[in-house]
Structure 1
Amino acid sequence: MLKTYSVSLAVGVLAGVIYAVLDVNSPAPPVIALLGLFGMQIGEHLIPLAKRLIKRQPVNLRWFRHEYIHKIGDTPPPSGDKPS
């Protein structure tokens, strides 16, 4: 898990260095960039939810915990749930 964060930070720093070398501003202010990332997360999670609703399968807490919590928090699902 720490490796993922380290790589992400390193790539972000590299992008910042490239922007500085090219003497350009980053494409978006930090708050706007974070909102964009949040929107990407919402969009990514809407597809499985829509598929489940179209198939008329239940959307309950157990499904939510299995499908999302371990992806959002980067932790494995609770012991009662089997990973997919």
Structure 2
Amino acid sequence: MKVYLLSLGAGLLVGVIYSLINVRSPAPPLVALVGLLGILAGEQIVPVARQVMAGHGLAAAWRQAKCAPHMFGMLPGQDDASSKSAAHPNPPEKTS
């Protein structure tokens, strides 16, 4: 969650600076977001195409190229269960 807040803070800071120097953002927000989505998707085309050409199915190629973690990252509220269990293999028991 920290990275999302830092990203939002950086965006707000840039927006304030743009406003102070009377500069408009280079693209409307929706156009900019669609462009970023295109960049992320475009980065995945070559690795997935290589896997497909190697004889793997599209779903297998997607998984082997690790596209989903790259495109979506760790979503808020989805902690890695394996790292939690490794950090606390035997959680303390509650006593009453």
Aligned partners of 2:6 and 2:67: how far apart in 1?
A: 23
Larger radius of gyration: 2
Aligned residue in 2 for 1:15 = 14
- SS of the residue corresponding to residue 5 of structure 1 reads helix
Aligned residue in 1 for 2:39 = 40
Alpha-carbon RMSD: 2.5
Question: Structure 2: any 5+ residue segments left out of the alignment?
Answer: 83-96
Question: Structure 1: any 5+ residue segments left out of the alignment?
Answer: 80-84
The residue correspondences of 1:1-84 to structure 2 (distance < 5 A) are 2-54=1-53, 56-66=54-64, 67-75=66-74
Shift of 1:60: 4.1
Q: TM-score, normalised by structure 1?
A: 0.70
Shift of 1:63: 4.0
Q: TM-score, normalised by structure 2?
A: 0.63
Quick one: percent identity of the two aligned structures? Answer: 36
